[in-house]
Each structure stands twice: as structure tokens, then as C-alpha cells.
Amino acid sequence: MDRLKIGIIFGGSSEEHPVSVKSAREVAKNLDTGTYEPYWIGITRSGSWKLCDSPDGDWENGARPVVLSPDRSVHGLLVLEQGRCEVIRLDLVLPVLHGRFGEDGAVQGLLELSGIPYAGCDIQSSALCMDKSLTYTVARSAGITTPNFWVVAADEKVDSGRLPYPVFVKPARSGSSFGVSEVAGEEDLPRALEAARQYDSKVLIEEAVAGSEIGCAILGEPSAPIAGEVDRVALSHGFFRIHQEDSPETGSENSTFIVPADISEESRRLVQESAKTVYRALGCQGLARVDMFLKDDGQVVLNEVNTLPGLTSYSRYPRMMAAAGLPLSDVIDRLVSMTLHQKKR
């Protein structure tokens, strides 16, 4: 039987480019090449698309220029080399992109135009989950508690004296804690706003939530999602920002992951059911990681939703799924099967 031709897109021009490359390398280690024929499509920091042999090492050198054709009759890639154009038809695409242009609905829109089935959330749910203020608005309508928050537009002035410190200031549409600051008092607010605006003109100010940082990995269709094990992020100081550290593969500077989380069975079920509720309300499909806070009184408060969570060797999503009996190779198989099943509908 012919192998399925899978385009795996990684890299990207967002600040999360290095994380995406690491995620793609982990996918490569866990991809069954007896079943799948991978086409590695790396996007450089400047936005150039390259067809390369693998995401390992210096993948940009020797790679061929490639574009994803929006022409549905092509249904795949156009490889451009020495004035010639080679057409490669793809069966599906697995995006392994994080942040802007990968997790916000942009590449999903291009894939919709191309007619190629793709794994993961669609345009609408990707855009909703990328914007934390929209995520909170929809989650609240589904009965999920969120932090109190305020949206700050570009160049908008903030009455710093009216905020209930401590607060967190963050870009509304970014990930991996880039541009996030914990603010203890109003004297630090201007600097925090400036840091957040380096990544997004729309900024969110959130009231700090006292509780444990909890996560839940979700896999599947909205009608019957599967919850992975719940994890807890144990912090020694500061806040979780492992993807910005120098050598996260050897351990975090301020955090450790406890999987399964050291919480009661009642709390574990509540976290998993809350994560599924959020997943459904936001229209997610394929996969997502739902991050929450678990307060001392047992209440769950939503933090954020990652529609293309990190898949690196140190990432939380694959750890939670593996703890539930689904290693990354099985997660990939299920994503592919689910994507092709949806195509037939």
C-alpha cells in the first residue's frame, strides 16, 4: 500500500520559531515512515518556504524553494528550482507551528484555500484561542470562570491606580510567555505595557489568580474529546516561561512538571471536564492544551488555550498524553486518522 504523503510545516516567522523547529524534530523521531511519506516544509524567520530533507541541523541550507498552492486542483506543493516547477500532491498537512501565522488561523486559511485536509483546529477556533480576550469571553458564556481582565488598545492610556495589584500584563495574541510581566505595583506598569507591545498592539491586563498552575491535554473531535493526564507546574519563583530559557532540554530554571498532578481525584475530574467544556465551546478539534489555575477552594479558573501546543522533548502536551497511555507516535496516528475521516464527511 502506498504511504500517505504528509506535509509537515514548521518554523515560521513568529517569535516562537525555535520552539516550532524543536517540535518538528520530535515529530520526526516519532513518525512512522513505513506508513507516512513526510515532506518537511520549513518556514524561515523571514517567511521563506523551503522543502528540506528533515528539520534537523542546518535545515535551511540546500533546501529548495517551495510554495503551498492555493489552487485546489494542485492539492499540494509547487517546488521551484532552476526555472522549473515540480508538483507534489499531498494527502494531508500536519502544521507544527506556534504563535502568529501558525496558530492564529492564518496558515489554516491558506490550507482551506488549497483544499488539503489539515490536522488541528480550524480558522475560527484558531483565531478565537489565539486572542486571550476572545477566549475568555466565549469561555465565560460556557460557564467557565476566567480571571478578571482589561483590554488595552494600542496607545491607550491606563489608569494604573485603579488596578487590583498584583496583575499580569501580556500580549493578547502571543504565546510561550513572550512579553509577559508580573506587576506588583503601578510604578512597574508602564514598563510592562511596553514589553507586551513589542509582540502585539493589543494588550491584556489580568488580575492575578492565587492557585496552582494546572494543564490538561485534549485530543479528538469536539463530540468525543479524550483528556490526557492532568499536570501541575511547580514553580520555585517567578512564572512559567520555559521556552525562553537557554537549555530547557536539561531542565527548567524555575519550574518542574508533576504528571499526574498531585491533586485529589475530584479535582482531577473537574479539571478534565472543564478542559473538555472549553474545547467544545471554542470549537476546537484535533488537539489543544488547556491551561488553568486550581484554587485552594477547588475552583478551576481558565488561563489560556493552546491550539498547537509544543511537542518538544520537554513540552507538557506529549507528557500528559504519554501518562494517559498515548505516546506521541499514537497521537500522530490518531490526528492523521481523524483528519482523513473528517475529509470523507
> Is 84 marked active-site?
no
> Is 60 marked active-site?
no
Cα(99)–Cα(253) distance, integer angstroms: 23
Q: Which long-range contacts (CB under 8 A, 24 or more apart) does 238-242 make?
A: 238/182, 239/168, 239/177, 239/180, 239/182, 240/177, 240/213, 241/176, 241/177, 241/180, 242/314
Catalytic member of 50, 98, 170, 334: 98
> Is 157 marked active-site?
no
Catalytic member of 243, 268, 316, 334: 243
Cα(19)–Cα(26) distance, integer angstroms: 11
> Is 243 marked active-site?
yes
Sequence-ordered list of residues with C-beta below 8 angstroms from that of 104, at least 6 positions apart, any chain: 126, 127, 130, 173
Catalytic member of 152, 314, 316, 317: 314
- Which residue has 530547557 as its cell numbers? 248
> Is 289 marked active-site?
yes
Catalytic member of 7, 15, 17, 19: 19
> Cα angle at 92 between 89 and 95, to 5 degrees?
120
Catalytic member of 180, 310, 317, 336: 310
Contact 207, 170 (CB under 8 A): no
Sequence-ordered list of residues with C-beta below 8 angstroms from that of 12, at least 6 positions apart, any chain: 20, 43, 97, 98, 99, 100, 101, 102
Catalytic member of 17, 22, 173, 276: 22
Size of the chain, expressed as the number of residues it contains: 345
> Is 241 marked active-site?
no
Contact 235, 256 (CB under 8 A): no
Catalytic member of 249, 266, 325, 345: 249
Catalytic member of 232, 289, 319, 334: 289
Phi, psi of 136 (to 5 degrees): -65, -40
How far, CA to CA in Å, does 302 sit from each of 74, 103, 214?
42, 19, 9
Cell triple for 235: 514553580
Catalytic residues: 19, 22, 98, 243, 249, 289, 310, 314
